[in-house]
A and B are shown apart, each in its own frame.
Chain A
Amino acid sequence: MITPILDVMQTIPSFVYLIPVVMLLGIGKVPGLLAVCIYALPPIVRLTNLGIRLVDADVMEAATSFGANYKQRLWGVQVPLALPNIFAGVNQTIMMALAMVVIASMIGVKGLGVPVLRAISNQYLALGLMNGLAIVALAIIFDRVSQQYGKRLQKHREGGHGV
């Protein structure tokens, strides 16, 4: 049921939904945030879903056999075992959100996107380059931090030979 929605969210050009968003909510931070969410959320939803599906059926069966209920299975088994995929999703989402800063600045969101937008419209090469690189630097920092955090949550994968 949710897959077609995700498909639409991912394929529709962002300018298309900027129009109704701006019409309804005007210009500012809130519509900007909404636009970013529409654009950036699908990967995390998809990858979390995939990760949970890929959880080893034998482990799930064992949990069930000990009387784990729905919640205990979800939080005790599925989510922890799906973490690698969930983190891949988090990562994608962060990257895509950053990619949206320039577009979001078009509807009045302040930040690094604004100078980039100005650089584009005035053909200021140096300004565009510097701010573009700043966005890249941010992306790299977020990426490393989130990956490191994900690794820390998955201590058990170190030095083993797979279960």
Chain B
Amino acid sequence: MVSDIKVSIKNLYKIFGSDPQSVLGEAQAGMSKADLLETHGHVLGLKDVNIDIQARGVQVIMGLSGSGKSTLIRHINRLIEPTAGEIIIDGEDVLAMSEEELLAFRRFKASMVFQKFGLLPHRTVEDNAAYGLTIQGMDKAEAIEKSSYWVKRVGLAGFENHYPAQLSGGMQQRVGLARALATDAEILLMDEAFSALDPLIRTDMQDVLLDLQSELHKTIIFITHDLDEALRIGDDIAILRDGAVIQQGSPQEIVLNPADDYVRDFIKDINRARVLEVSSVMESKKPRSGIKVEKTMVVEEALQISNANDNKPLIVTEDGKAIGSVSLEAMIAAIARPEKDAERNPEYR
């Protein structure tokens, strides 16, 4: 069977310092980031990272500042060379690519959106959006014509001849997004693309992205340190700490079964009702009567429906067939913030 895995990262290590190879062995043997820095003066950027990224989905990579997110995403298009490990994209080893192949890969296959936008200040909006295409070798007029579609799609019609300095941050990032989309690359790398924007604009941009994704189905690798953002747009979330992946799973899994206190800290302030779906809190018994709700409905909505119907249990359905039920009590219990020291997952301690 052809697997649907687009990007596969295997045993990836990145060590910053004067002689990374010399300390690789010790890092592979499990030396911690702090120890490595203290004893050898090298920074452990990434530690045995293994992630399989599904095609046509949004893979979020999350972690606090310094956890190695930017380092990781830059390995995918080899802006950073790994110390050890493999990166396989569509069955092809990115690390084995020649200079030429790598240029072609960056031009046609993966494009990137940056936290600080990285726009060319001396080029207008339309020229910036066409940048990737001109780098591909396309004639300038043709490139501008082709990219003007994306300029309009991100909502910048009328600003084609403005320079980046004349735009607000949100608009500049729209240019960044248009530039990345214009090359038709299948993989979109976004390094904290919306982190520099204020909350309202950020939500706007998330909407723009989700809207585009629902029709483009690109493989998006999205970095953020904001869990609300991660939950909102991620199909799958990987959480990094000190360069290591400590948990990977769907938003539901992460909220329901945080792997350790680090993850628990991340999720403690989120609105669980807006994340959890009824299928995650349902019981298998199926009452004969009741209001039917789709299994992907979030608890917040289900609570309202239940409340409007004398707090009766709801029937959870999949494709119209009943698969279980949720009671008001179960839903309320699920959205209560868990105690930090709850003994729910002793195996992780």
Q: Are B165 and A65 in contact (CB under 8 A)?
A: no
Q: Are A157 and B165 in contact (CB under 8 A)?
A: yes
Instruction: Please name the residue on chain A nearest to B189 by beta carbon.
Output: A65
Q: Are B119 and A61 in contact (CB under 8 A)?
A: no
Chain A residues, CB < 8 A from B13: none
Q: How long is the Cα–Cα vector from A156 to B105 in the complex, in angstroms?
A: 31
Q: Counting CB contacts under 8 A, is A106 at the interface?
A: no
Q: Counting CB contacts under 8 A, is A122 at the interface?
A: no
Instruction: Please name the residue on chain A nearest to B118 by beta carbon.
Output: A62
Q: Which of A5-13, A36-44, A66-74, A111-119 contacts B (4 or more CB under 8 A)?
A: A66-74
Q: Are A66 and B121 in contact (CB under 8 A)?
A: no
Q: Are B111 and A65 in contact (CB under 8 A)?
A: yes
Give the shortest distance, in Å, between B101 (CB) and chain A (any CB): 11
Map CB proximity to A onto B218-259 as digits: 1 under 8 Å, 0 otherwise: 000000000000000000000000000000000000000000
Contact of B164 among A63, A67, A154, A163 (CB under 8 A): A163
Q: Given A62-B114, A157-B165, are A67 and B122 also a contact pair (CB < 8 Å)?
A: no
Chain A residues, CB < 8 A from B131: 63, 66
Q: Are A160 and B135 in contact (CB under 8 A)?
A: no
Instruction: Please name the residue on chain A nearest to B180 by beta carbon.
Output: A66
Contact of A69 among B103, B123, B183 (CB under 8 A): B103
Instruction: Please name the residue on chain A nearest to B136 by beta carbon.
Output: A67
Q: Counting CB contacts under 8 A, is A77 at the interface?
A: yes
Q: Counting CB contacts under 8 A, is A4 at the interface?
A: no
Q: Counting CB contacts under 8 A, is A80 at the interface?
A: yes
Contact of A65 among B77, B104, B116 (CB under 8 A): B77
Give the shortest distance, in Å, between A157 (CB) and chain B (any CB): 7
Chain A residues, CB < 8 A from B159: none
Q: Which of A156, A160, A163 has the most CB of B within 10 A?
A: A163
Q: Given A58-B114, A62-B118, are A67 and B163 also a contact pair (CB < 8 Å)?
A: no
Q: Do most interface residues of chain A lie in helix, strand or loop, or is the interface mixed?
A: helix
Q: Counting CB contacts under 8 A, is A139 at the interface?
A: no
Give the shortest distance, in Å, between B151 (CB) and chain A (any CB): 16
Q: Given A80-B122, A159-B166, A163-B119, are A61 and B103 also a contact pair (CB < 8 Å)?
A: no
Chain B residues, CB < 8 A from A83: 122
Instruction: Please name the residue on chain B nearest to A62 by beta carbon.
Output: B118
Complex interface residues of chain A between 144 and 161 (CB less than 8 A to chain B): 154-157, 159-161
Q: Are B107 and A156 in contact (CB under 8 A)?
A: no
Q: Are A156 and B135 in contact (CB under 8 A)?
A: no
Chain A residues, CB < 8 A from B119: 59, 62, 163
Give the shortest distance, in Å, between A132 (CB) and chain B (any CB): 39
Q: Are B166 and A67 in contact (CB under 8 A)?
A: no
Q: Are A66 and B79 in contact (CB under 8 A)?
A: no
Q: How long is the Cα–Cα vector from A163 to B114 in the complex, in angstroms?
A: 14
Q: How long is the Cα–Cα vector from A63 to B194 in the complex, in angstroms?
A: 20
> 15 pairs across A/B with beta carbons < 8 Å?
A61-B118, A62-B114, A62-B118, A62-B120, A65-B111, A66-B106, A66-B179, A67-B104, A67-B107, A67-B136, A80-B120, A156-B123, A156-B124, A157-B165, A160-B164
- Contacts beyond the supplied A66-B111, A67-B132: 17 A-B pairs with Cβ under 8 Å: A58-B114, A59-B118, A59-B119, A59-B121, A62-B118, A63-B118, A63-B131, A64-B106, A65-B79, A66-B112, A66-B179, A72-B135, A155-B163, A157-B121, A160-B163, A163-B165, A163-B172
9 closest Cβ pairs, A-B complex = A160-B165, A62-B118, A67-B107, A67-B106, A156-B163, A65-B112, A163-B121, A66-B132, A58-B116
